[in-house]
Amino acid sequence: MDEDTSGGDMMNKAQQVWSMLDDMADSNPAAYHQFIEKQMKEGKDFMKQPEPHMCVQSMFYSDDKISSSIYINVFAWTRVTKPKDHESPIPVFSTPIIKIPHQDEEIHVVNVAFNPSVCEEYGRNVENHEYTECLINLAMEYIQDMNKADSITISRHYTILGEETTHKGDLKTLIQQFTKTDKKVDSQLEDLQKQFAPMADVSGPNENLMDKLSTMASPFEKPHKNASSSPDVEIKIPGTDRKERKKGLIEELDENGKICPSKPEYKLDVKEAFEGREERIVVKIQLPGVRSVDECQLDVSRDDLSLVVPNQAELKIKFPKPVDDNKAKAKFSTKSNSLTITLPVC
C-alpha cells in the first residue's frame, strides 16, 4: 500500500472517530470526558522525548577492514512499541551512524531506542547481566542490518560506560536525529492537523502538532485566559456578516437554469429523558464544504425544520414528535463540518 492510500485511510478513520465522539458527547457526557482524559494522557506520554539509558563502547569495521571506535547510545522512548509478551520480538529503532566532534577528535555515534519497559527489564540495572548482554547484542545486530549496504560489523567485545555517562554527544543533537528519522509520523500528524486544525489550535499557528500535543492541557482543566475559544459556535441570525463562497467548477442546473441544491445526509435521534435531562430530538446534518455557520439559513417550527445553504444544500425534516421550538439549540462544528440541532420534546 502506497503512502497516499495509507494517508487517506488514516484521514477517513479520523473522521469516523470524530463523528463517534460527537455522538458520545451528547449521549454519554461522563464516558466522553473519561475517554478524552485517557487519550490526552496517552498522547502526552507518546510525545515524550527519548531519554538516554546507557552508552556502550565497541569497535566496528567495514569492507576496508579499518576499525574505528563506535559509541552506541541506548535510549528509552515511548514511541517504540512495547512487546506483546515475553515470547514476542522486541521492537527496536535506530538512527544512522554519524560522526560528531568529541574533545580533539571525531567519534562515531549511533542511537538505538527501545520501549521504556524493555530498558527497565533488560537494561543496565537488572541483576541478571545476561539480559543486558542480549539487549546489547540485539541492538548491534539491528545496527548492522540497517547498514548492511556498507558491510559493517560491530565487535561483540564492548564496554558499558559508567552510570554518569548515559550518552556520547550533545543530547539535543542526538534527539534531533530521532525526529529527523521519524519524518513519516510527523507527516501524518501534519495531515491530521490540516484536517482537524481547531482540535489542536491552542497556540501559535506555526507550531508542529507534536509540540502542541506534548504541552497542551486537558480540555476539562481550567482554560488559560489567552486560550482559544471552542470551535463549536452557537447558530447566528442568517445573513449577518456573510462571506461570499467560491463556486464549484461544475454546478447542476434545473430546467430554468437555476442551481439545484443537494440534499445533505442527516441523522435524527429521539433521546429519552435521562438523569434530569428532558426528552429531546437531536438532528445532526453533514455539510461538507461548509466552513462557517454564517452560510446556513435555519428555520425551526413545532413540527419541522428547514435548512438552506444557498447554491449548495437544502433540507426539510418533519419531526416524529412536536418540539418546543423556543428552546431549540444549534451548534456548527468546524471539525466535522456538521450542524447539530437539539430540540426539547413538548
Helix (H, G, I), strand (E, B) or coil at 310: coil
264-269 CB contacts, 8 Å cutoff, 24+ apart = 264/307, 264/313, 264/315, 266/315, 266/317, 268/317, 268/320
Q: Rounded to the nearest 5 degrees, what angle is found at the Cα of 78, between the Cα atoms of 77 and 79?
A: 90
Give the pLDDT of residue 191.
Answer: 53
Q: Please list, in sequence order, all residues whose beta carbon lies within 8 angstroms of the beta carbon of residue 200, skipping any fewer than 6 positions away.
A: 193, 209, 212, 213, 216
Give the pLDDT of residue 13.
Answer: 67
- Cell numbers that stand for 282 in this block: 437531536
- Cell numbers that stand for 184 in this block: 513519516
Give the pLDDT of residue 222.
Answer: 40
Residue 34, H or E segment: helix 29-46
CA distances from 81 to 85, 115, 298 (A): 12, 6, 49
Give the pLDDT of residue 6.
Answer: 52
DSSP structural state of residue 326: G
Q: Which amino acid is at 251?
A: E
Q: How far apart are CA 258 and CA 262, in angstroms?
A: 13
Q: What parts of the chain have a pLDDT lower than 70?
A: 1-15, 45-46, 63-66, 181-260
Q: Rounded to the nearest 5 degrees, what angle is found at the Cα of 227, between the Cα atoms of 225 and 232?
A: 125
Determine contact, residues 144/137, Cβ cutoff 8 Å.
no
Q: How far apart are CA 73 and CA 96, in angstroms?
A: 12
Give the pLDDT of residue 50.
Answer: 92
Q: How far apart are CA 95 and CA 179, in angstroms?
A: 9
Give the pLDDT of residue 135.
Answer: 93
Pairing of strands 297-300, 304-309: antiparallel
Orientation angle between helical segments 183-195 and 3-27, nearest 10 degrees: 50
Q: Comparing C-alpha atoms, which of 306, 334, 324, 330 is closest to residue 236? A: 330
Give the pLDDT of residue 2.
Answer: 52
Q: How far apart are CA 181 and CA 79, in angstroms?
A: 13
For residue 188, report the phi and psi dihedrals to the nearest 5 degrees.
-65, -40
Give the pLDDT of residue 257.
Answer: 52
Q: Which amino acid is at 192?
A: L
Residue 106, H or E segment: strand 105-114
DSSP structural state of residue 151: T
Give the pLDDT of residue 161.
Answer: 94
Orientation angle between helical segments 3-27 and 29-46, nearest 10 degrees: 140
Q: Which amino acid is at 234?
A: E
Q: How far apart are CA 253 and CA 104, in angstroms?
A: 77
